[in-house]
Amino acid sequence: MTAASVWSLLLPAIDQAERESMLPGWLPAAAGMVLGVFFLAVLDGMLPYLKRKQPVQDAVWRQNTLLMTAITLHNVPEGMAVGLAFALAANGEGAVGAMALALGIGIQNFPEGAAVALPLRQEGQSRLRAFTGGTLSGAVEPVFGILVVLIAAWAHPMMPWLLSFAAGAMLYVVVEELVPQAHSRAGTCGFVGGFLIMMVLDVALG
């Protein structure tokens, strides 16, 4: 998730802002990231009140909800990026690049879906419900991709903000929930291994 936040979200946000905005490239990325962190922090504070049937101390449910929310938010601007790429391709700009982007993001969704499904399964959910949760977290991509094709002119200037917003949400979950629980040698190795895998996927296929 950390690697995806950097290579899939923050760096593209900075790059697009520098090319197409009169603002410094870092400004939309920084502001969007802060908004994403704030949104997840507010959601985190509200979760005990959203599930009254279980005790406030139900940390597993809370962590899984934050994780699924962050990954789903991360998939929204990725789907929009694919839709925008195909909208530009319809005007004769980079059809091959649009297909490569769609393929890369599609492959990248496998480990992201697993990051949602596996914790749900460990929580005690059935295989079907865990699979459905992982699938739904990525189902927002085609929905928002189609939406952006219809409103490409409006969505394009918003992309740096949306990308960095999703990055902030993901980084909040990593720092608040995942890193403290992975504080061991095996956890450190897993973090580094996951970072390398996502970095390679994002750079090689993005």
pLDDT score of 205: 63
And the tokens for 41? Answer: 């922090």
Q: How many CA atoms lie within 13 A of 159 on its CB side?
A: 31
d(CA 161, CA 10): 9
Confidence of residue 57 (pLDDT cuts 50, 70, 90): very low
DSSP class of residue 178 equals I
Average pLDDT over the chain, rounded to an integer = 79
Query: Nearest CA to 167 among 101, 70, 69?
Result: 70
Selected residue with higher pLDDT from 20 and 178: 20
d(CA 164, CA 141): 16
> In the predicted model, is pLDDT for residue 164 greater than 90?
no
Dihedral angle over CA of 15, 25, 72, 66, nearest 10: 140
Could you read off the pLDDT of 114-148 as tens digits, one per residue? 888 888 888 788 889 889 888 888 888 888 888 88
Find how far residue 129's CA is from the centre of its chain. 21
Compute the average pLDDT of residues 165-190: 80
> In the predicted model, is pLDDT for residue 93 greater than 60?
no
> CB neighbours of 55 closer than 8 A, spacing ≥ 6?
none
> In the predicted model, is pLDDT for residue 150 greater than 90?
no
Which of helix, strand or coil describes residue 120? helix
Long-range residue pairs from 187-195, CB within 8 A, at least 24 positions apart, any chain: 191/2, 194/1, 194/3, 194/111, 195/2, 195/3
> In the predicted model, is pLDDT for residue 35 greater than 70?
yes
Confidence of residue 52 (pLDDT cuts 50, 70, 90): very low
Spell out the alpha helix ranges (H) of the chain.
Answer: 2-3, 11-20, 26-50, 59-89, 95-122, 127-150, 152-155, 159-173, 179-181, 185-205
pLDDT score of 84: 74
